A and B are shown apart, each in its own frame.
Chain A
């Protein structure tokens, strides 16, 4: 083992050369470590993002299948023409929805139902249009619905959105709506007539939390409701809301989904849709598989949405992939640089090698001595890299992520501009569809309740023992490769030529 001693003596005697070697190795290892930590940071952020974003599965009527069924039935009966007005949606059975909620991996769920209702006493809707308000009052005498939609369908004054938890509803979770007074609708409100009304509606009617007012159900009977909370919304509505009161965001009343059933007379057994938030997007397929066994897939469908998750992961995946390339490139560059340094060093140390060979030392031991020298430098460099790799990793990683996120956002904005908002989280926001003859379909297309989580706005890069071990492994590999590549120079040396010349 005298070659180890000689290596240490050589390193100590030639301090300048040793310091240069440590500096070069440190630079290599710092970049390798930065790559490793960025990569693991990105992977950790991906895992966190998976957990924070989750995934959404929506149970609702299988419109496509039902349209097809309707169409087939119409074609069988050649004498009759298709009647668009005869299409009826089958509401989701509440017991099926609850069974699905008990499946594993469900983090939270929200049942949703919607309908529209007319005013009765104690409240007047925010008028979208003075003319239509007048029409509305005229129409009330004709039956349910204060306004007449195109096609002769009658509408109410208010849109009632029944939820299991108002805080889970997309408007609230995305920040479009926020509670300003009172309390939110929760599962405790099931079976009650507690509601949330919009701030401007409350102010216009001089209503506050705890006040009661009456609306009409589908049988035109008065239903008394209690104001549990007041919310405000930043949604200013669309062109339709200027024509119909119920589409005015200020006339949206939130209640428990059970109250919607009371208003529609379905006795609390059905809902329009159920939204399930899963713990982890990777469980989505297994969840859908299990859920499909619980429902009639001809009547109901499950819509999955992990697009946001995939979109938010793109920058992380790019950073992770880039970090992997950094590790490979720096390691390869490290091997080349160190090989060249060692080769130059061998030229410089030919005389020493000649002396050792003339004394009968084996070439393997001479190569081993050089390896030990590199290895000792690597140990020092490892310490330096470990001390500074975190700082470099954080700086480089966050810079990369920032660039990737900016690029991703720019791409997303371009795509949105081109695609008119792109796909939203279908099903979470329900327009009045399955209720009292409102215009079906819709949903809050284009709105997306998710925002990028903190984990991907900033990478939290911290070194773990596994990264140091990986770094040590890579450092050892670089040392070995450089020595093996440069050892050809030592193997070729002839002591006679060195010493006698």
Chain B
């Protein structure tokens, strides 16, 4: 699996470009970080590669196929999982039901989706007892783990995360980064994190910085 951007540009009306002619390649088995200050456009970049928005010019290719061709909804359903800073779980569902719902939407082939979800939640430290609780009953760190498990259980090769540790304390933040590393390296997923935290970026294999409308590789 490869995700690449080809002359990707984006701007808001009546404003200058956020970034122009971006050409990047992301591969599976690696964890990437996009560093940048607030308002630099890193979240907009993430929304483009997550299939939530369309570029103003240029294109994004997933396995050399344009997202336009794949279709954004189809791309989100079959190829990419998104982890948000605010977790974005369905509040009226339990942790395990959140994971199962995402698996159903992604048309996962797992025979027993609930058992698979529980097993994966267990791996990230969410016990069965916690998994049966409504997500609003869980802590921020636990909710982020549920969100990561939701992304993982959909079995997509690409996981993008927007400030996944933004709402977490330092210790929990470290655990989440470690979890992402394991997923990228052991399960051979491509993980792209958008963050403004240097500590989080340090744990990634490749770090790009978005500064002055341009991406540069810093490590």
Establish whether residues A360 and B76, one from each chain, have CB atoms under 8 Å apart when the complex forms: yes
A351 CA to B88 CA in the complex, in Å?
8
Contact bitstring A1-37, B, C-beta under 8 A = 1, else 0: 0100110011001100000000000000000000000
B77 touching A360, Cβ below 8 Å: yes
Q: A13-B93, A355-B90, A500-B47 in contact; A6/B52 too (CB < 8 A)?
A: no
Judge whether A495 is part of the interface by a CB distance below 8 angstroms.
yes
Nearest CB on A from B180, distance (A): 19
Digit string of B95-121 for contact with A (CB within 8 Å is 1, else 0)? 001000110111000000000000000
Q: Is the CB of A10 within 8 A of B92?
A: yes
- Residue numbers of A with Cβ under 8 A of B are 2, 5-6, 9-10, 13-14, 351-352, 354-362, 494-496, 499-500
For the complex, what is the distance from the CA of A298 to the CA of B76, rounded to whole Å? 91
Q: Give CA–CA (A362, B78) in the complex, Å.
A: 13
Chain A contacts for B77, CB-based, 8 A: 359-361
Do B92 and A13 touch (CB < 8 A)?
yes
Residues of A close to B84: CB separation below 8 A? 499
**Bound: A184/B75 CA distance, A:** 94
Q: What CA separation (Å) do A361 and B89 show in the bound complex?
A: 14
Residues of B near A361 (CB, < 8 A) are: 77, 105
Q: How far is the CB of A334 from chain B (nearest CB, A)?
A: 26
B105 x A360 contact (CB < 8 A): yes
CB contact between B52 and one of A5, A9, A13, A499 (< 8 Å): that residue: A499
B105, A14: Cβ atoms closer than 8 Å: no
Distance in angstroms between the alpha carbons of A5 and B88 in the assembled complex: 19
Query: A9–B92 Cα gap in the complex (Å)?
Result: 7
Query: Could you say which residues of chain A place their CB within 8 Å of the CB of B105?
Result: 2, 356, 359-361
Interface centre among A10, A13, A362 (most CB of B within 10 A): A13
CA distance A352 to B75 in the complex (A): 20
CB distance from B27 to the nearest CB of A (A): 23
Q: Is the CB of B93 within 8 A of A355?
A: no
Also in contact, A360 and B106, with CB within 8 A (given A2-B101, A13-B93, A500-B52): yes
Instruction: Determine whether the beta carbon of A496 is less than 8 Å from that of B92.
Output: no
Chain A residue numbers with a CB within 8 Å of B92 are: 9-10, 13-14, 352
Instruction: Assess A496 versus B88: contact at CB under 8 Å? Given A2-B104, A358-B76, A360-B78.
Output: no
B172 within 8 A of A: no
How far apart are the CA atoms of A142 and B120 in the complex, in Å? 127
Q: How far is the CB of B188 from chain A (nearest CB, A)?
A: 22
Min CB distance A8 to B, Å, is 11
A359 near B102: Cβ-Cβ < 8 Å? yes
A361 to B102, CA, bound (A): 9
Minimum CB distance partner of A351 in chain B? B88
Partner of A9, one of B76, B89, B97: B97
Which residues of A sit under 8 angstroms from B106, Cβ to Cβ?
359-360
A residues less than 8 Å from B132 (CB atoms): none
Instruction: Determine how close the nearest CB of chain A comes to the CB of B167; give it in whole angstroms.
Output: 14
